[in-house]
Structure 1
Amino acid sequence: LFDSMKVGAERIRDIVLSLRNFSRLDQAEMKPVDIHEGIESTLLILQHRLKKDSLHSGIEVIKNYGQLPRIFCYASELNQVFMNLLSNAIDALEEIRNSGEVSDKKPTISIYTEMASSNSVRIRIADNGSGMTEDVKKKIFDPFFTTKPVGSGTGLGLSISYQIVVDKHNGKLSCVSSSGLGTEFIIEMPISQ
């Protein structure tokens, strides 16, 4: 009983620390941040959507992190970008799962980080979902555009992410996707502003 209580308390502590790290409420200014820490906090918050349950297999997350220096950024806002991109990837994979389509490929999200140049980093978040058409891809960063059913999406996640990466951090946010071949979002950000 004590062991069970200890494990439960440790899990609660990890989640609280993760939420604190994710929100960075005490750090509103731009400062050097470990990008991988932000990605890991976001994954921990989303783990309930990634896990296997009685009806569905889980979503596999493949992480391939490069050696990155700390990046000067607004940490809580950048974590919001990770949350939006990862949530959308999970939604795309769940959409396939819920449609009843039979697929032999395991639902997977891949996260890669690497140096893009001597003063910039690249973060790529990809899913092996159904992808999107060219028409949809042209509109994804438009405010209020969504492909989700009425009531389940605001159409603001990617628009806000674009503003955070491009306007606030002088970076780039782009999308590579083809119908049937999944989607990849690519963030490029300068290490220092």
Structure 2
Amino acid sequence: MQSDIDQSAENEALKARIAELEAKIEKLERLADSDTLTPLPNRRFFFRAVERAIAQRGRHGTPAAVLFIDVDGLKHINDAHGHGVGDQALIHTAWVLREKIRSSDVVARIGGDEYGVLLEYADEAGAHEKASALEAAVAGSPLHGRIALTASIGVTALEPGDTPETALARADSSMYDAKRRRG
């Protein structure tokens, strides 16, 4: 009889340990997918989301688009106000972008002063409209009410055969075209 009780206690202890380890794994996965500065997902998470959207496009023809966003003049902000203010500009921009997209879309910091947005169920025309709205939202929300922020945004629709890298490269090229048009 004693061995049944011991076995039951041991099983409960193992279940508790497994639950503890699963919670730690979940926390590590969240950390691995999170940007260290902003409250956004990171490039790793973004690429997986784009992969899923590409698969949806391939299976069902579901449209989606990728935006590549570059915060203009971050070096100037860092030089004029310090890197702490530059970090605040990145956090502020992340907040503005997150507030202006649908909950079904994904915004992520993909590096430095660059963000990616995955617009699910959006064609290229709709993505261009959203890009214009996001540019206006960033420009209309100065940091601390006094430091002007702007962003250049490139747009591409997902195409059959895309990879996250090819889609982001097209959107990046489109972003540089947008910067050149601005002067």
**TM-score range with shorter-chain normalisation?**
0.3 to 0.5
TM-score (norm 1): 0.33
Decide which structure has the larger Cα Rg and report it. Answer: 2
The structure showing larger relative contact order (alpha-carbon pairs under 8 Å, at least 6 residues apart) is 2
Structure 1 or 2: more strand by fraction:
1
TM-score (norm 2): 0.34
